[in-house]
Amino acid sequence: MLAFAAFPRANEQGYVTFTDSLIQDETHELQSLKLRDLLITMGENPSDTILELRAATTSATRNSSAIIVNTIHFLEEEILPKIQEYFPEPIFAIGPFHKLAPSSSSSLLKEDTGCTSWLDKQASRSVLYVSLGSVASMNEEQLLETAMGLAMSERPFLWVVRPGSVSCAEWLELLSKEFQEIIGQRGCIVKWAPQKEVLAHGAVGGFWTHCGWNSTLESICEGVPMLCWPVFGDQGLDAKYISHKWKIGLELEGKLERGKIAGAIRRLMVEEEGEVIRQKASAFKERAEQSLGTGGSTNSSLDELVELILSFQPQCKTAD
């Protein structure tokens, strides 16, 4: 929201100048997050259509009665006031939505609930859950490097490989019998998984994710540290927050290579660095739970939102 509002059109406010000024300002909250990454994600040379979309989005938001955001106040408490400078409407941070409506499901694919039986047999916090979203895809090389990296890590893993997500393959045809023999019962590969239930399972100790915002919130709420591999959209900035600001995960940067993958998994799941990250992730989980309780930020914001909506209702005449 801040990025869209700050420079809705390149020829009006200038992407590079504005961004560089933030990066050079050591007091700025996002200084360490390399906002150039956000710039690249949004497009260095955006088309007129994209620029018009940003301008229209910003204009529509400014004309709204209120803004509802799926976030938790403590996660973005420094940036929310900055957004308020651009948007005068009241902002209600009432996330995480999935905790407010826990019975609802946003899954577009059939979930394989059988993987929970496999998780039940694994040691506490020993399993790396790997799921790279419902949209992004991999090429053959990335699939094979990921597979061998998981094998070389020597850690148990639950890996979601979405059908059709790998170019030139329907599902697992590209994985060799050698790979299957190496992992044996240490790995479980499914087409889709009930993610919220998986992240809440006691056997899961890490989450390799693209860092979409829904997955990020779900992981935070369960205290699961993340291995970040962003691809597009908001994922790059989410990953920077996770790894550099909140420090509840590690970022897997650059090209996927099996040795680098295995090393990152061990750092997160086994080594002392990972233990520090787990402690911080656990603290974030506690703060998320507090936000939902009586007097918590989400609970209070939701009450305030209800009051605002009710204030819009016409006054009803009481019957004689």
Within a domain: residue 102? no
Residue 66 CB: number of other CB atoms within 10 A?
Answer: 14
In a domain, 54, yes or no: yes
Residue 138 within any structural domain of the chain = yes
Structure confidence by residue, pLDDT tens digits, 39-75: 555 555 667 777 788 788 888 898 999 999 999 999 9
280: CATH: 3.40.50.2000
Residues near 164 by beta carbon (within 8 Å), at least 6 away in sequence? 137, 170, 171
Examine the domain organization and report whether 29 and 167 are in the same domain: no
The angle, 0 to 180 degrees and rounded to 10, between the axes of the packed helices 258-269 and 272-292 is 60
In a domain, 193, yes or no: yes
Q: Is the pTM of this model over 0.95?
A: no
* Residue 300 belongs to a domain: no
> What's the number of domains the chain is made of?
2
Q: Report residue 76's pLDDT band, with 50, 70 and 90 as the boundaries.
A: very high
Q: How far apart are CA 127 and CA 186, in angstroms?
A: 9
| pLDDT tens-digit series, residues 284-317 | 999 999 999 999 999 999 999 999 999 987 655 5
| Residue 215 shares a structural domain with residue 250 | yes
Residue pLDDT, tens place only, 124-163? 999 999 998 777 778 889 989 999 999 999 999 999 998 8
Residues 70 and 204 in one domain: no
Same domain, residue pair 140 and 279: yes
Element (H, E) at 220: helix 213-221
123 falls within a domain: yes
> Which of 60, 24, 19 is closest to 43 using CA atoms?
19
145 shares a domain with 258: yes
Structure confidence at residue 33 (pLDDT)? 47
Residue 22 CB contacts under 8 Å (≥ 6 apart), including other chains: 28, 30, 31, 35
Residue 103 covered by a domain? no
Shared domain for 278 and 236, answered yes or no, is yes
Structural domain including 212 reads 115-290
Condensed to tens digits (0 to 9), the pLDDT of residues 224-242 reads: 999 999 988 889 889 999 9
Q: Is residue 310 part of a domain?
A: no
Return d(Cα 252, Cα 230) in angstroms, integer.
Answer: 8
